[in-house]
Amino acid sequence: MSPSDRAGARTIAALALALTAGCATAFQHHIYEFSGTAFAGGGFSVIAHPAYKGVSIEFQNKTATPIHIVWAESAYIDMEGKSHRVVHRGPKPDGLDDSGKPTPIAAGASLIDLVIAEDLISEEEGKRVIGDHLPTGYAAKESVGRSVTLYLVVKTPTPHPFPIRMTMKVSAAKARAAEDDS
Domains of the chain: 29-176 (2.60.40)
Residue 2 in this model has a pLDDT that exceeds 60? no
Q: If residue 128 lies in a helix (H) or strand (E), which one and from where to where?
A: strand 127-130
pLDDT value of residue 174: 84
pLDDT value of residue 32: 86
SS3 107: coil
pLDDT digits (tens, 9 = 90+) for 47-92: 999 988 899 999 999 999 999 999 999 999 999 999 999 988 866 5
Cα(51)–Cα(127) distance, rounded to whole angstroms?
A: 21
Phi-psi region of 47 (alpha: psi -120 to 50; beta: other; left: phi over 0): beta
Q: Which of 61, 82, 80 is nearest to 164 (CA)?
A: 61
Tell me the mean pLDDT in the region 154-160. Answer: 88
For the chain, the average pLDDT equals 79
Residue 4 in this model has a pLDDT that exceeds 90? no
146, with CB counted inside 10 A (0-12, 13-18, 19+), is middle
pLDDT value of residue 91: 60
Could you tell me the CA-to-CA distances from 120 to 15, 20, 83, 131, 160 in Å, in that order?
Answer: 37, 29, 12, 5, 31
